[in-house]
A and B are shown apart, each in its own frame.
Chain A
């Protein structure tokens, strides 16, 4: 097992374990920190794949920007109000959900395991930043712009919904 494989497993664990913890945790602050860990893992995976620019952007934007924003958000609102509560889901429904989800996961895993994936020979990865920049303004200009439209609408919607509410009816 060479070091990159080891790193892959480490990063995978760093991604998945916190993800599970997010689902299970009840305190929103802890939840935010678990999310931070999971996102770091994803950044690591990107870098392992040779997508250095993407990895660094992930760290910069998600960890440096968004997570800080979330934490500030929590800090500035009433913490008690956003404490997660356990749902009213009955035990039976929970069991059904877990069984079905597990079965689906198993089915997918089986397929992934049974597949003979094409393995490209490892090549020396050049720095990607310049190429990503170029691609975004040529071939990928449309999706790039579309993503900005998507962000705009998300922003707009978030602002609209989070704005001070009229009296609830």
Chain B
């Protein structure tokens, strides 16, 4: 069983290496081909083999994951593999250790299953691309790091996976493309993520200071022991927070980067510049949920920090609503889904903040299915329309792409919260837990419910604009806002639209099935279920010692049955109202959207400018920093403007040529002056 666990990442790593070698070998040959004018779009004769290898790696991992999960399902003990010592010193020792418990099993199943489907989908979607093996190398590498992240038995190793997925995602967004816009999107994603990571690291260090180890098992033992919990509950001297709250907040701030929460969500919509299967895998199903995984993994720590939980609730519900509002007006099909993802991640964090970690993880799972299905469906549409992503130029695809339509409909209804689809069950569970939590939880419930209304509306809008009505792609193209003309695509005639190949529709069907029926594994008690999912995760939940419970305050107890019924009824109603409004706007009376824009110009403006957040970051952070580096006194000294010597020694060379000595290049005197000044300064520091 240990071997099986270790093999999961091994297959993926091997796959990534093999693909990288093929890519390197081809890049060399391809360069010559390029010189000789060969056509890139014809594809490479070896692409079939590449595709088979690419799908084989995650499939093999999926096989191993099934083995691991079935072992756990049969009631087997958690699995642990200790590979080698990573770093050792007397004060600090970290092993490379993998563990699989019930939570890891859930994550592994999602990652390897959806990962395999998306690899399969990609073999058709990326067909003919000159960078075929390189793409799969990155995709395998990404899946590898994702498995590392969820299997890590140690917070440092987890961080390696955490950073690794960010790196692979950066490569897939930025390294993939050769145009500057997309490279910038990749860079933005990377930099924003690193801001979060800085907080993560500081949080991890503080945790290590307190616990003396970063091994997750040791951390759990520490939290569950009365002494450990007491130590974590002691004030940390930071804004009157307890140590646990401080660490939990820092880790949550780290998670806001990876899991796209306020204030660090801005990278995710831009990351849609990557290929669509990448958006499905990385920016919907797996990587962005790492923050929720982290919180669920360290649930005891968050449980010890109710004030941190309140912050999480506020941030998460605000993100949830804000992103949902932004999704209302997006015209790019992928951008709608991107903001929707940010919003859905907000729901998951509401679960975390309310202490319902299992509900958060459950929504993670269902979201992975319905959102991956929606993204892949969007990809199928984009594929059919030859890279058209603008919703205003779609329509009427229902009869042309029937499978895509049906699967996206199911996934969309699931996301909109139509009972009894999976999305309804998990979202309702979270909102109920938030209500039950009381206090800030009620606020989160309110914001979450409004967001649910938005969700239903924009989902309906997306489906109706893409599949309903008549095809609008044949009308002559006019310049609109941020056109995507740079692809050089031309409108596709309605009759030329075809459904995507089997390799693309099969994953859609499987994902739609999940989006429909997965809810039953977490069917709530109130509806006569047993919430098997919650029970499955119960062993992962840490049991706080009684002494700590007394300080933190126990769980708010079970709410009344009728309240749960009432809320559930309301949620269903909200979903139908949202969908109904969308129906009214985009089928019954098509002039309504225009009227709304005319009626509320300010609101529309705010929404389309994304509440001005992106512009704020650009103006207030990026530009000043660049300014500081280039235009201030400091920058000028460093670039040599001040002493009138232009950087690089071209001017020096010129002066040399005119017969002067190198010595008389002014800069060396200046350097020496600075050095003496430095010495003097240090002496004065001492003498004064």
Contacts and interface: CB of A to CB of B under 8 A. Distances in A.
Interface string B646-688: 0000000000000011011110011011001101100110010
Contacts of B680: 100, 103-104, 107
Given A107-B687, A108-B683, A88 B677 contact: no
Contact of A88 (B666, B672, B673, B676): B666
Nearest to B643: A93
5 contacts: A87-B664, A90-B666, A100-B677, A101-B676, A104-B680
B670 A93 contact: yes
A97 interface: yes
A108 B663 CA distance: 28
Interface residues of B, number: 18
A93 B547 CA distance: 70
A85 interface: yes
A93 B676 contact: no
Interface of B is mostly: helix
Contacts of B683: 104, 107-108
B281 to A, nearest CB: 52
Contact of B673 (A85, A87, A93, A108): A93
A89 interface: yes
A103 to B, nearest CB: 6
Nearest to B666: A88
B664 A93 contact: no
Interface in A89-131: 89-90, 93, 96-97, 100-101, 103-104, 107-108, 110-111
Contacts of B661: 85
Interface of A: 85, 87-90, 93, 96-97, 100-101, 103-104, 107-108, 110-111
Interface of A is mostly: helix
- Of all A-B residue pairs in the complex, the 6 with the closest CB atoms, nearest first, are A87-B664, A104-B680, A107-B683, A97-B673, A100-B677, A100-B676
A162 to B, nearest CB: 15
Given A100-B676, A111-B687, 8 more contacts: A88-B660, A88-B664, A89-B666, A97-B669, A97-B672, A103-B680, A104-B680, A107-B683
B668 to A, nearest CB: 10
B663 A107 contact: no
A165 to B, nearest CB: 13
Nearest to B668: A87
Nearest to B644: A90
Contacts of B679: 104
Contacts of A101: 676
Nearest to B674: A100
A90 B335 CA distance: 58
A103 B688 CA distance: 13
Contacts of A89: 666, 669
A44 to B, nearest CB: 29
Nearest to B663: A87
A48 B510 CA distance: 97
A108 to B, nearest CB: 7
A90 B670 CA distance: 11
A107 B684 contact: yes
B443 to A, nearest CB: 61
A144 B128 CA distance: 70
Contact of B669 (A93, A110, A111): A93
A27 B673 CA distance: 25
Contacts of B669: 87, 89, 93, 97
A97 to B, nearest CB: 5
A100 B687 contact: no
A104 B666 contact: no
Nearest to B645: A88
A30 B672 CA distance: 26
A110 B688 CA distance: 12
A88 B669 CA distance: 10
